[in-house]
Structure 1
Amino acid sequence: MDMGVYMLLGSMAAFGPEISPTISVAVLSLAVGVLVGYLLSGRWRSGAEGNKPSQKLGDARRSSLYEKRQAILRRLQGDLDMLLENQIEVRNLMSTQVVRVQPRRTVAEMRNMMSVQHMRHLVVVDETERPIGVISDRDLLAVKDGVAADVMHSPVMAISPQSMLLPTVSHMIENKISCLPVVEDDLLVGIITTTDLLLTLQSILRLMQTENISRSGPSFADELQDSCII
């Protein structure tokens, strides 16, 4: 099972009864939806199919996840009304560092890019930087050679930065996909993945868990950070 799933389940175990029932049901429903979509996507199998990563790569991945999760925490903590009113937009959660490749990029080159940059998804773009396809690590595991145009999923299912979180999760589950490019004015501005959603859910649950601490004094930030180490 992927690290992100363990992180989410650990947060849910500490989910307190003092939280509003309405919010609790909404967040837990979202959690179940993300987990179902995550497992349906089949990404959890890829770890067993690939080579075991080195300790150095594992540490780099862990650091990257921690930094991304802390950024999400800060955004949600800075606007709790957005969370309580279920108005979280994709722009608040998406990753903006998207790895782009041209259609003629080889499978070997793309595998190396994913390994070096700790990415699980690549977006194929044309000469105008318009997204025309998506490639996951699973897609590269399924082939021996070829180029991006041969293995990419096309046409691209994309969303806007203003898309709401809940329908985005539903869209990913219904289509059994693990990522969605984020496009604005035909330009690629980001990507949202199952990892982003799991980190978001962990952040939400941690914020709810520490709600009483936030009311008790300025120590909230320190306790929140200590409780959220990956």
Structure 2
Amino acid sequence: MQSGVNLLLGSMANFDQGVSPIIAVAMLSLAVGVLVGYLISGPWRGRLALVRPAPNAQEARRSSLYEKRQKILRRLQDDLDLLLENQVEVCNLMSTLVVRVQPGRSVAEMRRLMSTQHMRHLIVVDETERAVGVISDRDLLAVKDGIAADVMHSPVMAISPQSMLLPTVSHMIENNISCLPVVEEDCVVGIVTTTDLLLTLQSILRILQMERVSRSGETPQEDMVDCMI
């Protein structure tokens, strides 16, 4: 396995989440195209102010999603050329908090892990930290008991941190999958999911929204200021 290139190691679980990855990534691609045309038509007016979460948004998973969205938003604001030149790399939006399990981990333990860590995917790794399988929350719902090796989808598809976003999006559409492990030098360093793509889409739409307000001189509406996950 070589770093810096897409690693195609087989097939993975079909997407079975509440939001179709085809819809998610299609919206993301459309938003990138709109942003390119919009920004080229006039000067960029500086960084956007980041909002703070509403007081009632302290639940753990929502807070985690908010922080992740802000990280992506800051990265895109820092270098808009990443979008304009279609050079957004997977490392700019991937989640680095990856829950890894051994093939012998029980279904009950994995359910508890997903619940406490607010995760929908687990990466099964061997003793060398090499990805050997992927398990989704839907996979665990389909069984009563067993171990990771029994329910994991293996072998897996993987990408490198330097993989470009749009080819990654196309790859997820073509293979109808909801996540891709990110691997560097045979070790799992992150994961890209449809949630990450939706957070990226939300960041792009927010940049468009705030740029429109900046150009028009309008005062941001309350629903814009309080925009959350």
TM-score > 0.5 by shorter chain:
yes
Larger proportion of helix: 1
Q: Residue by residue, what CA displacement relative to the aligned partner does 1:148-197 show, whole Å, maximum 9, x if unpaired?
A: 01111111100000111111111111111100000011111100000000
Is the CA contact 2:124–2:148 (under 8 Å) kept in the aligned structure 1? Answer: yes
SS of equivalent residue, structure 1 residue 210: helix
- What is residue 180 of structure 1 aligned with on the other side? 180
- Give the TM-score, by structure 2 length: 0.72
Note the C-alpha offset of 1:59. Answer: 2.0
Q: Which protein, 1 or 2, shows the higher relative CO under an 8 Å CA cutoff with sep ≥ 6?
A: 2
Q: In structure 1, how many angstroms separate the alpha carbons of the residues matched to 2:35 and 2:159? A: 31
The structure-2 alpha-carbon separation of the partners of 1:226 and 1:192, relative to structure 1 and needing over 3 Å to count, comes to same
Q: 1:3 to 1:153 in 2, by over 3 A?
A: closer
TM-aligned CA distance change 1:153 to 1:3, over 3 Å? closer
Conserved? CA contact 1:99–1:122, under 8 Å: yes
Residues 212/175 of structure 1: CA separation in 2 closer, same or farther (3 Å cut): same
CA distance in 1, matches of 2:84, 2:226: 21
CA distance in 2 between partners of 1:163 and 1:175 (Å): 17
What is the percentage of aligned positions where both structures have the same residue? 73
Q: Report the CA distance shift for 1:124/1:164 in structure 2 as closer, same or farther (over 3 A).
A: same
Aligned to 2:86: 86
Mapped contact 1:94–1:190 kept (Cα < 8 A): yes
1:131 touches 1:188 (CA, 8 Å); kept in 2? yes
TM-score, normalised with respect to structure 1: 0.72
Gaps of 5+ in 1: 25-57
> What does residue range 53-64 of structure 1 map to in structure 2 within 5 Å?
59-64=59-64
**2:122 and 2:135 in contact (8 A); partners too:** yes
**2-side partners of 1:227 and 1:213: how far apart?**
15
**Does structure 1 residue 99 correspond to structure 2 residue 83?**
no
For residue 120 of structure 1, what is the aligned residue in structure 2? 120
CA gap 1:176/1:97 in 2 versus in 1, 3 angstroms: same
Once the two structures are superposed, the pairs formed by residues 3-18 of structure 1 within 5 Å of their partners are none
Distance 1:23 1:147, change over 3 A: farther
**Contact 2:129 2:187 (8 Å CA) reproduced:** yes
Q: 1:19 to 1:153 in 2, by over 3 A?
A: closer
Contact 1:206 1:224 in 2 (8 A): no
